[in-house]
Amino acid sequence: MSTEHELLPGLYLVSTPLGNLGDLSERAREVLSRASFVAGETSQSVLKWFQLLELGEKKPGLLSYRESSKDKDGAKILGLIGEGHSVALISDAGTPGISDPGWQLVAQAQDRGLSVWPVPGPCAAIGALSVSGFPSRYFWFEGFLPQSGRARKDALQRLDESAAPCVLYESPHRFLQTLQDLFSVRPDREIFVSREMTKKFEESWRGTLSRAVEEWPNKMIKGEFTLVLGPRQLEEETGQGVSQETIDLARELGIPTKSAARFLKHLFPQESKKELYRRLSE
């Protein structure tokens, strides 16, 4: 193999644009052009980049890495890396390993002592969160909800119990049902909806789930959706999310006020420790 052309041996997780091709970084271009092989969920998704980058006869080898055949595909990829090749892994769009089987390949590579490098770039979850207008010091990433049954109910319960913003992915076929399910749990919670992010018909919407279930059935339901549930308690910085009964109980424990405030902050991380201290001191 040509050491001048190829990269160091290892697995490269290459982030690709969600829609706007201008979001492909220069480093991503370099890795996709110089890797020994490029692996994707479909051959079409890989060939698209070969054509856009005008690689011609110098293009890397093509590999597949699919959920349905991840064990077989992964074994081949890891074997090639072990032989001294570089493999760039891409998803259909965005960052590999986020809500797709790429994380398993990464874990297997690390277990074998093989090098793994990120090539950062577009990610729908981070993109939506950044423009949602919700606090983002910490957040919950759920990805795609289970489609039905107990697993779906448990996931909805987890989201409701999280006071932090929660990011979900959804297909157009299940989008309205997901809105309805979220509404049934906590109708007044705010939600930010991003449809077709960075694409020609990109659309953003923010409001309560009560409004969402009224308005979205009358809107265009096409493309990919990223949802961000707002904080469960919008008054998170006031300390009023902790009930007075809880404050009184903390006082009755007889521990120092400062320690009680720290303890309640641990139980209710969305609250202001300063405000908790004030309420405990009253």
Question: What percent of the chain stands above pLDDT 70?
Answer: 94
pLDDT of residue 6: 66
What is the layout of strands, in order, in the sheet containing 203-208? 140-144, 166-170, 225-229, 190-195, 203-208
Please state the separation of Cα 229 from the chain's center in Å.
Answer: 13
* Packing angle, helices 273-281 and 257-267, rounded to 10: 130
Is it true that domain 10-122 has CATH number 3.40.1010.10? yes
Residue type, 156: L
Q: Which residues lie across from 38 on neighbouring strands?
A: 62, 88
pLDDT at 49: 93
According to the CATH classification, is domain 125-229 in 3.30.950.10?
yes
* Residue 154, burial from CB neighbour count under 10 angstroms (0-12, 13-18, 19+): exposed
Mean pLDDT by 10 residues, the chain (282 residues): 66 96 96 96 91 87 93 96 97 91 93 97 96 92 93 92 92 96 93 96 96 95 95 54 80 86 79 83 84
CB 56 within 8 A of CB 234: no
Instruction: Tell me how far the alpha carbon of residue 85 is from its chain's centroid.
Output: 29
Given this model, what pLDDT does residue 245 score?
79
For residue range 185-242, what is the model confidence (pLDDT) as tens digits? 999 999 999 999 999 999 999 999 999 999 999 999 999 999 999 998 644 444 456 7
Q: Which of 215, 265, 212, 200 is nearest to 239 (CA)?
A: 265
